[in-house]
Structure 1
Amino acid sequence: MSRRTLFSIRSLAAAVGVAILSACSAPAISRDVNALPDPKLDAVAPAGHTEQVAVLAGGCFWGVDAVFKHVKGVKQVWSGYSGGNADTATYDRVSDGNTGHAESVKIVYDPAQVSYGQLLKVFFTVATDPTQLNRQGPDTGTQYRSAIFYGNDEQQRIATAYVAQLTAAKAFDDPIVTQVVPLKAFYPAEAYHQNYFRLNPNNPYIVINDAPKVAHLKQLFPQLYRAGETVVSVQLH
């Protein structure tokens, strides 16, 4: 079931309760969630505080966005689109699944507080199921694929090495299908998609699919979890 279909039955779900909706919508991560090993290859923390950018795709951007907004050292997170062209970077067009875009998040973080490898560990542990091909939970299509859009050679090396490490360790029952591909561009999504988790906590989709991701972050990464959520301006740039 796609998120668009979920939107169309939202009023019905509100009337009959979240429990009925959950019977026809599997959580985005249905596997057992356990902390993964630290990356053997990671970036060296700089001496001072700086800003770096990571772009990740792991299904519906609402949940991935929410997870990283609760990670210490993360300064800003935007929902958006990567993989396609600027003229196709709109929600309606991306939802058709023919634009080459994936729903993605842009993460601005301080590498002195959280490393790129740690972000990937969080990503693979609680933000996405890397074994699901062109889908996450109830959402299907290439726009919901799992992908790491690396911005430089170092990010490529770390991401590729971590996927190989997890594969060798048989961290998942099924093969990892997460793409590791170069970042061409990131296009911010429409304003109503920004801060969606915080603004719509009772949305049945959020309750079923995304709230458990944040709960798993708190449980498995207490040293990285922060209760306060970073909030981004809808005046995107």
Structure 2
Amino acid sequence: MIAIALLAIAGFHFMQAANAESAVKIPPPQADMTAGKQEVQETAVFAGGCFWGVQAVFQHTRGVLNAVSGYAGGQKETARYERVTKGNTGHAESVQITFDPKQISYGKLLQIYFSVAHDPTQLNRQYPDVGTHYRSAIFYKDDAQKQVAEKYIAQLNAEKVFSDRIVTQLNPLNVFYPAEAYHQDYATLHPAMPYIAMYDRPKIANLKRMFPEAYRDAPVLVGAQGGRAGAAKAGN
């Protein structure tokens, strides 16, 4: 009986891994932001499960200047990993992406986010990680980002590109709090860690396979840019 139970557990994790490796090919957004009307650098904040994998995907995305793991949705006093993981702070593990809008658009980042960075149909979880701090959420910094994201979600739901409806929340970004230094560049620094190998490295492989024009082999690293970034308010 013990052997059967162990085989069942192993099979369950194998199925999870297989699901995690799959990515959904989705169309680009019909509405996007115009590069000429944006600043030299723009920011986007996405949440989609453990921030290690989401950060890694965008670190390998062309046009991204920096991708920082952190927390959004809660208060400064609880923006610490040991508090956020309790699931009652309002925070979501998030990634702040700084990008060049002349190289990659906000809509393209959303396409990658919905397609390979996470599964937007999972409510308050991503595969083995369960809790509201692992929720799917877009923290928009202005009305322009909100409108593009709203229209894209409506488009994807209408075209039924996923087997279930998208549960991604749209929330205004108040402040983004960078995570502790040991969380930054985690997937790059620990590629052999079982969790990274099972759930995060496949995301990078899917990015390369599905978006070759947006993929770059060498990731842009937080550690190469002076380490931990400071808290950023919306609009900064």
Q: Same fold (TM over 0.5)?
A: yes
- Distance in 1 between the 2:23 and 2:228 partners? 35
1:138 aligned onto 2:128: yes
Q: Describe the shift of the 1:196–1:21 C-alpha distance in structure 2 as closer, same or farther (beyond 3 A).
A: farther
After superposition, the Cα gap between the structure-2 partners of 1:28 and 1:186, relative to the gap in structure 1 and judged at 3 Å, is: farther
Structure 1 position 150, deviation (Å): 0.3
Larger deviation: 199-208 or 49-58? 49-58
Contact 1:101 1:143 in 2 (8 A): yes
Conservation of the 8 A alpha-carbon contact between 2:47 and 2:134: yes
Distance in 2 (CA, whole Å) between partners of 1:88 and 1:49 is 31
Listed one character per residue, the Cα deviations across residues 45-74 of structure 1 (whole Å, up to 9, x for unaligned) are 228971000000000000000000000000
TM-score by length of 1: 0.88
Q: Which residue of 2 aligns with 1:236?
A: 229
Look up the match of 1:11: none
The answer to whether the Cα contact below 8 Å between 1:47 and 1:112 also exists between their aligned partners in 2 is: no
Instruction: Please point out which of 29, 33, 57 is paired with 1:43.
Output: 33
Alignment of 1:69-108 (within 5 A): 69-108=59-98
Identity %: 52
Q: How many residues align?
A: 219
Candidates 194, 206, 209, aligned match of 2:184: 194
For 1:34, give the aligned amino acid: V
Looking at structure 1, the residues matched to 132 and 55 of structure 2 have their Cα atoms a distance apart, in angstroms, of 18
Q: Given the two structures, how large is their TM-score scaled by the length of structure 2?
A: 0.88
Q: Secondary structure at the match of 1:26?
A: helix
The match for 1:204 is 194
Shift of 1:184: 1.2
Tell whether the 8 Å contact from 2:51 to 2:70 is kept in structure 1 after alignment.
yes
Structure 1 unpaired stretches of 5+: 1-19
SS at match of 1:23: helix
| Structure 1 residues 194 and 29: alpha-carbon distance in aligned structure 2, compared to 1, 3 A threshold | farther
Q: Unaligned stretches of 5+ in structure 2?
A: 1-9, 231-236
Residues 160 and 216 of structure 1: CA distance in aligned 2, closer, same or farther (over 3 Å): same
Task: Give the structure 1 partner of residue 164 of structure 2.
Answer: 174
User: Is the alpha carbon distance of 1:25 and 1:197 closer, same or farther for their aligned partners in structure 2, counting shifts above 3 Å?
Assistant: farther
Partners of 2:19 and 2:174 in 1: how far apart? 28
Distance in 2 of aligned mates of 1:164 and 1:28 = 28
Amino acid paired to 1:44: T
After superposition, give the CA deviation of every residue in 1:119-143 in whole Å (9 maximum; x if it has no partner).
Answer: 0000000001000000000000000
Instruction: Give the 3 Å change call, closer, same or farther, for CA 30–235 of structure 1 in structure 2.
Output: closer
SS of aligned partner of 2:212: coil
How big is each residue's C-alpha offset from its partner over 1:136-184, in whole Å with a ceiling of 9 and x where there is no partner?
A: 0000000000000000010000000000000000011111100011111
Is the contact made by 2:24 and 2:162 (CA closer than 8 Å) also made in structure 1? no
CA distance in structure 2 between the partners assigned to 1:143 and 1:227 by the alignment: 30
Alignment of 1:15-30 (within 5 A): 23=13, 26-27=16-17, 29-30=19-20
Give the root-mean-square deviation of aligned CA atoms.
Answer: 2.0
